[in-house]
Amino acid sequence: MDNIDLEYVRSVVAKNNAWRGSTLNLIASENVMFPEVSEEFYCNDFMHRYAEGKPFARYYNGTKYIDELESKCMEYFRHKFKCSVANVQPISGAIANLAVFSGLPKGNGRVITNSLPSGGHITHNRMGTITRICGREVYNFPTNPDNPFKMDVDGAVRLVEEVQPDFIVLGKSMFLHPEPVREIREKFPELTIVYDAAHVFGLIYGGEFQQPFQEGADIITASTHKTFPGPQGGIILIRDERSFVKGIESALFPGIVSNHHLHRIPALLAAAIAYDTKHTDYGKRVVETAQKLSELLADAGFSVCGYDGKRYTYTHQVVLDVREMGGGALVADKLERSGIIVNKNSLPWDKSVINPSGIRIGVQEAVLRGYGAEEIFEKLKIALK
Ligand code: DSN
């Protein structure tokens, strides 16, 4: 195939770099890494190597430096989250979820999670990992009739009593408000609570969102590249030494990952250090920018979702109902033609995911690139006309 050569590959990469570098990226699940996490931390010899198993107990030779860095990285996150286990081997948040959902003991096989239209992630729902691979029977939390972007906590408590789940999963992908961790823990002292922090990990890390362990969660899964500006990857944190730790860790290795993409590890540790030393106000700026943007959009007449009497959002996300503008698919395409990248998103009342009612906006990358709420608002307003 003479039209597919090295020059072709190089040119497409260069075109994408130039194009995405010139757009305003508002995809809520993406970010760039902190500028300090430069190539030396991410593109290095580790990207060619294997190291199965735990640090200092590998199945490969040649691992003394990744042993050192991986154990320091685990120690750093254990210290930060005051927890017993920090496993940095999941290569994504979805893999972290797979390890936890398959590694937790199976009783009656039932779990309760947030539904897809109310914001739950695909891995939490029956067409995804939790049922398709882990064989769990999924029940969904009810939503609050006055604000369907929030959980109906009394209804959730009744559902837990009725279903007696093996565990519940809090946290979601369309994520505007804190989850009722404390309320559920108070009612169910023995219930295993998994908190999927993929979207809000950087906000929790920066102390700008709820603190799941302090409120009663047992396990946090997350990805390390959304509001946490690190390399693409995942993490599992477990609060205390519990009987399920071994099941989860052995589900991960040897159950799921063989190699865990070693070059992520120095970059992850570097991102955590950069957050703690150079970007201590990053989480605060992200949350403030999303709040301000949601107010500007609402004042300009856009249908901003999630208002709870105080705020539209407590996270990096702003969600718009764009049914009257043609629906989420049409509006997201229109924005892309104007150089703004967002994703269409199902809203709680949607039945179809093809042209759902909403778009989801995340400001975390824009904040890192120096944008303020007004500037994002002006660009959106012009592009949405
Ligand atoms: N599906 C991604 C999102 O929330 O955009 C995360 O895996």
Is the pLDDT at 66 greater than 80, yes or no?
A: yes
User: How far, in Å, CA of 312 to CA of 14, rounded?
Assistant: 38
Strands 234-238, 317-321: pairing is unpaired
User: Which atom of ligand 1 is least distant from the CA of 29?
Assistant: 5
Residue bearing the CA closest to ligand 1, atom 3:
29
Q: Which of 97, 169, 173 to mutate to test the pocket of ligand 1 (most atoms within 8 A of CB)?
A: 173
29 alpha carbon to ligand 1 midpoint, in Å? 5
**Where does the chain show beta strands of DSSP type E?**
24-25, 53-54, 57-58, 85-87, 110-113, 137-140, 143-144, 147-151, 167-170, 193-196, 219-223, 234-238, 317-321, 340-341, 343-345, 358-362
59 alpha carbon to ligand 1 midpoint, in Å? 33
User: Which atom of ligand 1 is least distant from the CA of 360?
Assistant: 5
Instruction: List all residues 6 or more positions away from 286 whose beta carbon is below 8 Å from its beta carbon.
Output: 202, 203, 208, 227, 316, 363, 364, 367
User: Which atom of ligand 1 is least distant from the CA of 199?
Assistant: 4
What residue has token string 């195939």? 1
Question: What proportion of the chain, given as a percentage, has pLDDT over 70?
Answer: 100
Residue pair 261/70 in contact by the 8 Å Cβ criterion: no
- DSSP calls for 47-114: GG----EETTEESSSS-HHHHHHHHHHHHHHHHHHT-SEEE---SSHHHHHHHHHHHSPPSS-EEEE-
Residue-level pLDDT at 1:
75
User: Which atom of ligand 1 is least distant from the CA of 343?
Assistant: 5
User: Which atom of ligand 1 is least distant from the CA of 28?
Assistant: 5
- What count of other Cβ atoms lies within 10 Å of the Cβ of residue 258? 9
Residue-level pLDDT at 2:
74
Quote the Cα angle for 154-155-156, to 5°.
90
Q: Region 169-177: what's the mean pLDDT?
A: 98
Strands 234-238, 343-345: pairing is unpaired
In the structure, which protein residues have their CB atom closer than 6 angstroms to any atom of ligand 1?
29, 173
The DSSP letter of residue 304 is B
215 alpha carbon to ligand 1 midpoint, in Å? 25
User: How far, in Å, CA of 310 to CA of 249, rounded?
Assistant: 41
Residue bearing the CA closest to ligand 1, atom 4:
173
User: How far, in Å, CA of 312 to CA of 26, rounded?
Assistant: 17
Query: What pLDDT band is residue 353 in, cutting at 50, 70 and 90?
Result: confident
94 alpha carbon to ligand 1 midpoint, in Å? 9
Q: What is the mean pLDDT of the chain?
A: 97
User: Which atom of ligand 1 is least distant from the CA of 198?
Assistant: 6
User: How far, in Å, CA of 194 to CA of 191, rounded?
Assistant: 10
189 alpha carbon to ligand 1 midpoint, in Å? 30
Q: Which of 25, 27, 29 to mutate to test the pocket of ligand 1 (most atoms within 8 A of CB)?
A: 29
325 alpha carbon to ligand 1 midpoint, in Å? 24
Is the pLDDT at 292 greater than 80, yes or no?
A: yes
The DSSP letter of residue 307 is -
143 alpha carbon to ligand 1 midpoint, in Å? 21
Residue-level pLDDT at 191:
98
Residue bearing the CA closest to ligand 1, atom 2:
29
Quote the Cα angle for 245-200-178, to 5°.
95
Residue-level pLDDT at 98:
98
- How many angstroms separate the most distant Cα atoms in the chain? 66
Residue bearing the CA closest to ligand 1, atom 6:
29
Residue-level pLDDT at 385:
87
Residue bearing the CA closest to ligand 1, atom 5:
29
Sorted by where each starts, the structural domains of the chain and their CATH numbers stand as: 21-30+280-383 (3.90.1150.10), 40-277 (3.40.640.10)
Q: Region 4-19: what's the mean pLDDT?
A: 96
pLDDT in tens, 257-291: 999 999 999 999 999 999 999 999 999 999 999 99
User: How far, in Å, CA of 50 to CA of 274, rounded?
Assistant: 26
Residue-level pLDDT at 352:
79
Residue-level pLDDT at 355:
84
Residue-level pLDDT at 121:
96
Q: Which of 31, 97, 121, 227 to mutate to test the pocket of ligand 1 (most atoms within 8 A of CB)?
A: 121
